[in-house]
Amino acid sequence: MVLLKIGDKAPEFKLKDKEGKVHSLSKSKYKVVYFYPKDNTPGCTIEAKEFTSDLKEFEKLNIQVIGISGGDEKTKTKFCDKHNLKILLLSDIDFSVSKKYGVYGKRKFMGIEYLGISRITYVLDKSNKVIQVYDKVNPKNHSKEVLYFIQTL
């Protein structure tokens, strides 16, 4: 896995949300693009709920929050409905976008190696240039950490 670095141009993508609508990177807003391992797992649920809780603060600053993982549209719908999530969650079913962003690769959990998405967050400017990378993410309070960074710009 080779992560994007500050100053890199973020790769464009076209991914579907829970309703099948295709989304790509906007060029009119700053963006928080966070990758998470799997819908409905404890850490991913905490992270998504916190971004949802802080969504109005991000919107006041004209920031778009995008979460990306490998689950399909049905999984995203169940995840959003179960936890009342309001953020935009996108399906990277074949992991092609995750690979371009350098977040897909070998992982280890409880001594077992597998391929999957690492919990990584990128903050992008209006031209989709990376201005911050979080590669050691603790789901608890991560949203506040990102919000604080953006407020200091």
Question: What mean pLDDT do residues 136-144 have?
Answer: 96
Interval 53-76: pLDDT, tens: 999 999 999 999 999 999 999 999
- Is 15-151 a CATH 3.40.30.10 domain? yes
What residue has token string 């190696």? 113
With both helix axes pointing from N to C terminus, report the angle between 42-53 and 73-83 in degrees, rounded to the nearest 10: 60
Residues 6+ apart with CB under 8 A from 68: 15, 33, 34, 35, 36, 89, 90, 92, 97, 98, 117
Q: Are 90 and 102 in contact (CB under 8 A)?
A: no
Catalytic (active site) residue 44: yes
Q: Where are the domains of the chain?
A: 15-151
State the pLDDT at residue 108.
Answer: 83
Confidence (pTM): 0.96
Catalytic residue from among 4, 33, 44, 80: 44
Give the ranges where 29-72 is alpha helix by DSSP (H): 42-53, 55-60
Half-sphere exposure in the Cβ direction for 112 (13 Å, CA): 5
Give the rounded distance of the alpha carbon of 76 from its chain centre.
13
Residues 6+ apart with CB under 8 A from 27: 126, 127, 128
Query: Residue 26 pLDDT > 90, yes or no?
Result: no
Render 114-153 in DSSP notation, one character per residue.
Answer: EEEE--EEEEE-TT-BEEEEE-S--STTHHHHHHHHHHT-
